[in-house]
Amino acid sequence: MLTKPPQLRARGEQHSVTEITTPRPSEVTARCHGSADTLAVDIAAPHGWNIHARHGSQTLTLTNPDQVLATVDVDTTNQNLDTCTRWTGPHRPG
């Protein structure tokens, strides 16, 4: 897996309309609201990106009104986790 040099991750990259870029940490905001079962976080990043995450849900809601993109729900459930757990678990066939 390729990673960016630490100096690029720390300061972010310049905006490009043809590439996915990494913002500087100071350009990203996260706001938590609610508590316990109603806890949620809203994350905003440069160039119009917004992410909403809710407690108990593995679905992220992504929006980008700046780029006129439709709101989309992304399921982050690891579909392979149950299979891997069964294969590597204590009852693995010998």
| Structural domain count, the chain | 1
Note the pLDDT of residue 16.
59
Q: Provide the whole-model pTM.
A: 0.63
Please state the separation of Cα 69 from the chain's center in Å.
17
Kindly report the CA angle at 25 between 23 and 27, in degrees rounded to 5? 60
Residues 6+ apart with CB under 8 A from 22: 4, 8, 9, 12, 13
> Which residue type is seen at 24?
R
Note the pLDDT of residue 43.
96
Residue-wise pLDDT tens digits, 7-25: 444 455 555 556 667 888 8
Those residues of the chain that have pLDDT short of 50 are: 1-3, 5-10, 92, 94
Kindly report the CA angle at 13 between 19 and 31, in degrees rounded to 5? 100
Is residue 14 domain-resident? no
Distance CA 17, CA 43 (A): 21
Query: Which residue carries 């780029």 as its tokens?
Result: 67
Domain span at 70: 25-88
Note the pLDDT of residue 28.
93
Is residue 4 domain-resident? no
Is residue 69 domain-resident? yes
> Which residue type is seen at 72?
V
